Amino acid sequence: MSQRVLPQKTYYLVFAALLLLTLVTVEVAFFDMGILNFSIALAISTCKSLIVILYFMHLRYSSRLTWVVAGAGFFWLFILMALTMSDYLTRAWLSVPGW
């Protein structure tokens, strides 16, 4: 099985991108944007996780089967998060009298 060898420049650029996104996360944390704070932080962290998965876990140059397995993992994560949020958001519907 042959592995693709990436130049060091690529890893330095990935490192710089991760540092930049971390600095953006810290800067955004100091601004009060209301309900958008969580969405922006989640979008930035998603970008960082994609960079890590694509380059440090070598998914970018992997076979299509590896892409399918990684996609299935993210799909399963989405299902679990959707079920958790549906439970959390509907807890107020079952209010107990006298509480």
- pLDDT for the residue 99: 62
Average pLDDT for 65-74: 93
Tell me the H-state helices in 52-95. Answer: 64-89
- pLDDT for the residue 35: 81
Q: Is residue 3 very low, low, confident or very high in pLDDT (cuts 50, 70, 90)? A: confident
- Where are the chain's structural domains? 1-61, 63-92
d(CA 62, CA 65): 8
Residues in the chain: 99
Whole-number percent of the chain with pLDDT over 70: 92
d(CA 26, CA 5): 33
Contact (Cβ atoms closer than 8 angstroms) between residue 14 and residue 71: no
Q: With 90 as the cut, is the pLDDT of residue 87 above it?
A: no
pTM over 0.85: no
Average pLDDT for 45-50: 92
